[in-house]
Amino acid sequence: MASIEAQEMDRLVSSDIHVIEEGRVHAGVGVEAPGPAAAPEGSPGSFRTESAPRPPVSFEELHVGRAAKLLWRGLRLRCPHCGEGHLRESWLKLKPKCPACGLRTDRGEEDFFLGGMMWNIVFSEGALLFSGLLIGILTWPDVPWTAMQWVGITLMLIVPFLFYPFSLGFWLANDIWIRPIRDEEMEWHRSSQPDEFRRYRDR
């Protein structure tokens, strides 16, 4: 009985050694040894494979010179991506797509222009701050506080309307600078319908 158990143990050890050596041979010729099994969908270690991860942004793409070019195009209401298409459809609305390259001005995101509204607030508040400082410096020490109040109210009524289309173009350019457009995204832009939006994980 003891000899049978010893023979069985020798057989198992020999089998394990053969498997280990076979794995080393495969690793030597460039074949990866099988790794741990993937975790089930929804478990802490799981991952989705429907879309490839977005590649990292390179240093050249974030260069200040590229940013200046894109932002200048956006402020002129030209397409930041190609620099050719005129984007303004009306004073309060941009065209759905660039007429030259087909870029969607909302980048396929329902809430995209919230960023443009943010920049409109920044520009308006900046104009209010600049005008207040300028009047205060030029009239010090006899600052016309009542006149400054009326000037501030007037600016807050007029400036947001005047800056609105430029803030939309500026935001689109800023977003393209931070998140450069890839070829697969441009293909989607050209083929998409006006009421079609990209899935969140594909952005």
Q: How far apart are CA 170 and CA 164, in angstroms?
A: 10
Q: Is residue 41 part of a domain?
A: no
Q: Is residue 37 part of a domain?
A: no
Q: Is residue 42 part of a domain?
A: no
**114 and 181 assigned to the same domain:** yes
**65 and 22 assigned to the same domain:** no
Element (H, E) at 14: helix 2-28
**81 and 169 assigned to the same domain:** yes
**73 and 18 assigned to the same domain:** no
Q: Is 81 a residue whose pLDDT tops 90?
A: yes
Confidence of residue 3 (pLDDT cuts 50, 70, 90): low
Range of the domain at 15: 1-29
Q: Is residue 38 part of a domain?
A: no
**22 and 88 assigned to the same domain:** no
Q: Is residue 172 part of a domain?
A: yes
Q: Is residue 125 part of a domain?
A: yes
Residue 152 near residue 135 (C-beta atoms within 8 A): no
Residue 82 near residue 169 (C-beta atoms within 8 A): no
Average pLDDT rounded to a whole number, residues 144-168:
92
**154 and 74 assigned to the same domain:** yes
Predicted local confidence at residue 51, as pLDDT: 46
How buried is 110 (Cβ within 10 angstroms: 0-12 exposed, 13-18 middle, 19+ buried)?
A: exposed
> CA 101 from chain center: how many Å?
19
Q: How many domains does the chain have?
A: 2
**9 and 78 assigned to the same domain:** no
Arithmetic mean of pLDDT over the chain = 78
According to DSSP, residue 201 is labeled: G
**98 and 165 assigned to the same domain:** yes
**11 and 94 assigned to the same domain:** no
Predicted local confidence at residue 63, as pLDDT: 84
Q: Is residue 56 part of a domain?
A: no
Average pLDDT rounded to a whole number, residues 122-143:
92
Confidence of residue 61 (pLDDT cuts 50, 70, 90): confident
Average pLDDT rounded to a whole number, residues 177-189:
91
Q: How far apart are CA 80 and CA 16, in angstroms?
A: 62
According to DSSP, residue 35 is labeled: -
Determine the 3-state secondary structure of 93 from DSSP.
strand
**9 and 106 assigned to the same domain:** no
User: What is the reported pTM?
Assistant: 0.65
Question: Count of CB atoms within 10 A of residue 74's CB?
Answer: 26
Closest CA to 124 of 84, 99, 146, 154: 154
Q: Is residue 34 part of a domain?
A: no
**22 and 113 assigned to the same domain:** no
Q: Is 72 a residue whose pLDDT tops 50?
A: yes
Q: Which of 27-41, 75-89, 186-200 has the highest mean pLDDT?
A: 75-89
